[in-house]
Amino acid sequence: MNCDAPVDAAAAQLARAALRHLAQRRLPPTPDQYAMAWRAVGGADACRGRDDLGGALGPLIAHLLRQLDLPHRHWTAARKKEALGRLLAAHGSETATLVERLNRLIDSWQSVPIDGPADPSALPRVPGPPAGRAATASAAPAGHLVPAAAHAPPSPRLQRIVDDMTDLLVAVCDTVPALVEEEAWVRQQFDAIRDMLRPASGVPDRRDMAQARALLRRTAEEHQRLLKMRRDSLQMMKTMIAQCIDWLRALTESSGRFGGKLNTFVEEIERSPDLPALAGTVRHLIEETRSMYAELDASKTDFVQASERARLLEDEVSRLASELSAASAQVMTDHLTSLLNRRGLERSFDELAGRCRSERRALSLALLDVDDFKRLNDALGHQAGDDALRHLGRLLRVRVRPVDLSARYGGEEFVILLPDLDEAQAAEAVRAVQRALTSDVFLHHSRQVFITFSAGVARVRDGEALDDAVARADDAMYEAKRSGKNRVCVAARAAQ
């Protein structure tokens, strides 16, 4: 891949550092604040060298700062800052790549509608507040109309409260599973809730919170059901043990009485003077034996019935546990495409990479990104965008090999894990999917829509983390975008 000049690389690093400086100090990303942050991280020389950023980076940062302030739906200011921070932390030294990724991040914000007026002058106006409420408000004439946003609580303070509450909920998700013994499904559910509270794109939106609430409620209900059934099973076992003790005690007593009677019968038999007397003693012996057998048979029947009740209860507990495991598997699935979601991908990657490493098998990773997805949303609406993602998800399920794993990584990005293929073979497999997508036409309201994707492929190194492999594939994918889109590029193989 191409490399930028040293001046551009240094300028890109200073730009990232300045934006990170603002995010860490929770400062509003205004142009003045950005200039102060630039001077703070780069000094006077860097400030004088700001003009060396090139024709694209300066206007782009100004545009980025404007977009940070707009109330895009599901994108809070904190979520935007966190997404920006993740982008800057993962970026290398190429200015062109930084510009491309910043543009894509801004496009993702602009792909959703704006909640409320984009222009502060368009804010609704309300009568001025009573005197003394605020210095600026009290200075206004009676009946003067002022922007409603002027009396809104401070945004940084509210955001700190939201962040603190999110941290508290994440801590609860970390703590509660430790209190439940040997319940892996509970841990999986709470891990999923924690992922919803801390999505990869930033802080959660209202839909994330609603899903977390529903999952938490369902987890609590299912856990209560399981606890009740296990308590019933435990009580049944206690009852059975008590009955067994009673039966053994009664059997011991009956055996003692029967043994005493046997001694008596033996003595009577020895003293019997004739056959009629002997026959009477034998008849009594048979009656006592039958009585003893009847007691044993009744005890056996009671024990078998109790054992059957306990077995049925344990079967019900096992059935419920299986249902909970199936529900936990659904937590690993993306609801839109029915592919693995990011959490499912992380778990599958750990297992598959471990097997490939131990068996000395190749493993490649492909990152796919739908081309011009924002344009598709703008032209046909978000429902068309969702339908396009479903279409690609269905295609991946039928076009990749059974041993391959496909996942929706986030937004319009997908990941495929391809075991036993090196990067060249994996790239060819992805190109086959591209050809299939071209021939399998996507229809929206009976209208043919041509969709493509660009992809980057990287061979997973021994012991490499998923995020690192994705980052290398991401670099290759951006090279495919710059090369004209609807292409597949392979990441350079570095030394192990």
DSSP per-residue letters across 146-203: EEGGGGSPPHHHHHHHHHHHHHHHHHHHHHGGGGSTT-HHHHHHHHHHHHHHS-TTSS
Residue 390 has which token pair? Answer: 């479903």
User: Comparing C-alpha atoms, which of 462, 471, 465 is closest to residue 496?
Assistant: 462
CB within 8 Å of 378: residues ≥ 6 apart: 111
Catalytic, 412? Answer yes
- DSSP conformational letter for 266: H
CB within 8 Å of 302: residues ≥ 6 apart: 243, 247
Quote the CA–CA distance of 259 and 253 in Å, as a whole number.
Answer: 10
DSSP per-residue letters across 270-320: HH--SHHHHHHHHHHHHHHHHHHHHHHHHHHHHHHHHHHHHHHHHHHHHHH
By the 10 Å C-beta count (0-12 exposed, 13-18 middle, 19+ buried), 282 is classed as middle
Cα dihedral 425, 429, 432, 434 in deg (nearest 10): -110
**Residue 29: what residue type?**
P
Quote the CA–CA distance of 297 and 81 in Å, as a whole number.
Answer: 76
Beta bridge partners of 365: 417, 458
By the 10 Å C-beta count (0-12 exposed, 13-18 middle, 19+ buried), 135 is classed as exposed
- Among the listed residues 82, 94, 222, 412, the single catalytic one is 412
CB within 8 Å of 403: residues ≥ 6 apart: 419, 420
The angle at the Cα of 295, spanning 294 to 299, to the nearest 5 degrees, equals: 115
Looking at the chain, the number of H-run helices and the number of E-run strands are: 15, 9
* Residues 115/73, Cβ–Cβ less than 8 Å: yes
Residues recognised as catalytic: 412
